[in-house]
Chains A and B, each alone.
Chain A
Amino acid sequence: MTLFDALDLALAAIVLGVAAWTIAAREMFSAVVGYVAYGLLLAIVWVRLYAPDVALTEASIGSGVTGVLLVAASTRLRRLPAPDAPPGAALKIAAALLSVLVTGVLATAVLYLPNPAASLAPEADRHLAATGLGNAVTAVLIAYRSFDTMLEKVVLVLAVVGVWSVAPERFWGGQPAPLGPAAPDAALVFLARILAPIGVVIGVQMFWVGADDPGGAFQGGAILAAMWIIVMMARLTEPPPIGSGWLRLALISGPAVFLLVGVAGPYMAGSFFGYPVGFAKPLILFVEAFMVLSIGVTLPLLVAGPPSREAGQ
């Protein structure tokens, strides 16, 4: 057993421990704090799996933005009494047995995965030069499986529509509730003023290097989203009214541009969602740029929630 094995085992134990503590925590607030810590640890696990792209996505969306969403929801629900219907001991035991069973089956499956493992890595690499990209994960996302990724962007837009449609009728077209306190701390305002511009630069850089290095549209967009959320928490700007035209345009720009390029594929490259040879990389970056924009707009809107007041109030 080497040093790395010991560290990996320790990391695994901590991840499981933090996860267990998260679900055991009585207060929702502590549970969410535990969840964010868990997400940070998970990012390290992903790096150990040689998946820095996933590590970034997990840290930004899986832990950061989801954490903010949950903590905001828990503060809003705190006034209400907790449901007082703890499940009986029989149900607990049954649930525990079921969980142990599922875990056991999965762990066995992990041990008996086919050997040698199936892999598309050589296949993905063979065509990498044709896309002009250096990061195989980005190539899979935007080129090989571009249709999936486009539909996934549509799912994001649908989620925003779903969240908005939960609002009461009279607030339609209005503004979501503010994210921060009425009188934010001066230090918070300072941080938002300094951090947001730096964060925007880093987010854009992350999208740009995503062509060749770990990074990409999702990660860059998520960082832009986080920066917008910080600025809204410091009350330097308010969540926009959902009726505004530029907002809706930014929301759909990602999937729309993607779809347009895809539909233009038969004329440019001879196939639906095909990229012309030699011009693939600029086109991919063009599509990605709009994806960054629409992710950077979508995620904060999902966190801000449905409109709860009329516009301009």
Chain B
Amino acid sequence: MSLALTLFSALAIAAGVFFFLAGTVALLRFPDSLSRLHALTKADNLGLGLVVLGLLPRAGSPLAGLKLIVLWALVQLSSATVAQLIGAALRRQDVPE
């Protein structure tokens, strides 16, 4: 693996971890549920995406790399829908009370 690739991989992973941290801090600090939800989705998608991007050069085979990408796409799909669902659940809970 060339030096540039190693550097790129380390940078991407570091950035991914940073987004996870930011998301976690936001989840702890943001005032209301909807903005926490907003922060969460950023952490989910960007954080994992960057970590996957960083791990791609390290993947042993093209197939393993493909699996990583499928994994990320899967998380994209489900986290987006789950965020929608949680939002709807929040609204339902807010209306009656």
Give me the interface of A with B, judged by CB distance under 8 Å.
Answer: 185, 187-188, 190-191, 194-195, 198
Contact = CB atoms under 8 A, between A and B. Distances in A.
Contacts of A198: 74
A194 to B, nearest CB: 6
B74 A188 contact: no
Nearest to A205: B67
Q: Determine the interface band of chain B, counting residues with CB < 8 A from chain A.
A: under 10
Contacts of B85: 185, 187-188, 191
Interface in B48-93: 74, 77-78, 81-82, 84-85, 88
A194 B81 CA distance: 11
Query: For the complex, would chain B's binding face be called helix, strand, loop or mixed by DSSP majority?
Result: helix
A244 B84 CA distance: 36
Specify which of A191, A194, A195 lies most central, judged by the most chain B CB atoms within 10 Å of its CB. Answer: A191
Contacts of B78: 191, 195
Contacts of A195: 74, 77-78
A185 B88 contact: yes
Interface string B33-47: 000000000000000
Contacts of A188: 81, 85
A195 B81 CA distance: 11
A187 B88 contact: yes
A187 B74 contact: no
Contacts of B77: 191, 194-195
A191 B74 contact: no
A190 B74 CA distance: 14
A38 to B, nearest CB: 18
Contacts of A190: 81
Contacts of A194: 77
Nearest to B87: A187
